């Protein structure tokens, strides 16, 4: 039992009948539950061989859910095959499918995979899958067979003369290197003027991003806005911005964390919680993105 936002949340973890599938959900009195379900292969997977897994998260309509954290898949090497979200009654169900590879033999611990939401009254809700076990078998045959030791290198025939071939090869290498350097120097272009700064690129992209004029364009607008600020953070601070979750990215940027957090939170609500804000929120989110770019650029100029 967990106390979150004034509400008592009961967390239930259970194993389903289909092998390798575990589910976790939390129930709040009088409200639908939030839940996490992970589908793993029922049998052991082979070391280095790809397999598929799926993660399903569900929550009530009206809750704002934090986005999925791909780092929870470690130590698996995984590539996302696709994600879809659908509404069933009063619930939103998000399913993500991955192609994964295990590079460790034995019992592999995964998770826990966590879902956190916030209801319209500000109450927080959470569910997690707990720690899951994936069995990984060796790719070697059983039994693996005997070791094959290399022969004694002293028994190998020795070349009768190696000085002449080595000298010829060294001379050819030096001559070829000299010719190549001479041709490269002749082909070098004149020095070009420096290109636009990351802040200039981001401001141009923000200026070109039009506010959505209809409901169908809202999601595309916020997806593009999130990509612009993440691309700027990647160029400005040499971060892997598209790998970090929103919370992680806000934590690692040295300047402009507050406007970046407000912008990404607004984008995540539209992308993952299917929220459709009023038109005033579109301009506010874009203003926060520009404030983040300006703060980081001002710090660059001061340094």
Phi–psi pair at 87, nearest 5 degrees? -105, 125
Angle of CA points 255, 258, 264, to nearest 5°:
105
Is pLDDT above 90 for 297? Answer: no
Four-residue CA torsion sign, 65, 70, 73, 75: negative
**CB 137 within 8 Å of CB 108:** no
Mean pLDDT of 225-252: 91
Q: Which tokens go with 60? A: 């009530």
By mean pLDDT, which of 9-23, 118-132, 219-233, 242-256 is the weakest?
9-23
**CB 263 within 8 Å of CB 289:** yes
b/e per residue 165-176 (b: at least 16 CB within 10 A): eeeeeeeeeeee
* Of the candidates 207, 226, 213, the residue with the CA atom closest to the CA atom of residue 285: 226
Could you say which of 2.30.30, 2.60.40, 3.30.1360, 3.40.630 is the CATH number of the domain covering 2-137? 2.60.40
Task: Supply the pLDDT for residue 265.
Answer: 92
By mean pLDDT, which of 66-80, 147-161, 272-286 is the weakest?
147-161
Global confidence as pTM: 0.41
User: 283 or 302: which carries more pLDDT confidence?
Assistant: 283
Domain ranges of the chain: 2-137, 198-302
Tell me the C-alpha distance between 66 and 59, whole Å.
11
Query: What is the pLDDT confidence band of residue 8, given thresholds at 50, 70 and 90?
Result: very low
Task: Supply the pLDDT for residue 186.
Answer: 67
Q: Which tokens go with 303? A: 């340094």
Kindly state the DSSP code that residue 243 receives in the 8-state scheme: T
55: exposed, middle or buried (C-beta count within 10 Å: 0-12, 13-18, 19+)? buried
Q: Is 51 helix (H, G, I), strand (E, B) or coil?
A: strand
User: 280 or 179: which carries more pLDDT confidence?
Assistant: 280
Query: What is the pLDDT confidence band of residue 33, given thresholds at 50, 70 and 90?
Result: confident
- Per residue in 61-120, pLDDT (tens digit) is 989 989 988 888 888 888 999 999 899 999 999 999 999 999 888 898 988 999 999 999
Q: Is 17 helix (H, G, I), strand (E, B) or coil?
A: coil
Task: Supply the pLDDT for residue 22.
Answer: 38
**Over the chain, what is the mean pLDDT?**
80
């Amino acid at each position: 039992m967990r106390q979150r936002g004034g509400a008592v949340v009961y967390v239930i973890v259970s194993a389903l009948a289909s092998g390798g599938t575990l589910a976790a959900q939390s129930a709040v009195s009088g409200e639908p539950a939030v839940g996490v379900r992970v589908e793993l292969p029922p049998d052991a997977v082979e070391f280095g061989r790809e397999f598929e897994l799926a993660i399903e998260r569900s929550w009530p309509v009206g809750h704002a859910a934090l986005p999925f954290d791909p780092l929870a898949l470690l130590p698996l090497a995984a590539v996302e095959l696709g994600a879809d979200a659908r509404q069933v009654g009063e619930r939103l169900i998000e399913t993500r499918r991955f192609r994964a590879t295990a590079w460790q033999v034995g019992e592999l611990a995964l998770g826990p995979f966590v879902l956190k939401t916030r209801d319209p009254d500000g109450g927080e809700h959470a569910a997690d899958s707990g720690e899951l076990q994936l069995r990984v078998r060796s790719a070697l045959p059983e039994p693996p067979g005997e070791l094959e030791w290399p022969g004694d290198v002293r028994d190998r025939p020795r070349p009768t003369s190696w000085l002449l071939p080595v000298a010829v090869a060294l001379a050819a290498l030096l001559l070829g290197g000299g010719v190549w350097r001479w041709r490269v120097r002749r082909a070098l272009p004149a020095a070009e003027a420096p290109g636009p700064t990351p802040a200039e690129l981001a401001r141009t992209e923000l200026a070109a991003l039009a506010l959505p004029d209809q409901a169908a364009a809202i999601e595309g607008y916020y997806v593009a806005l999130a990509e612009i600020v993440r691309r700027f953070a990647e160029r400005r601070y040499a971060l892997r911005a598209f790998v970090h979750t929103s919370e992680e990215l806000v934590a690692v940027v040295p300047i402009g964390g507050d406007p970046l957090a407000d912008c990404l939170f607004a984008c995540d609500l539209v992308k993952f919680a299917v929220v459709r804000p009023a038109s005033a929120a579109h301009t506010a989110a874009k203003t926060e993105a520009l404030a983040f770019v300006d703060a980081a650029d001002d710090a660059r100029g001061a340094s």
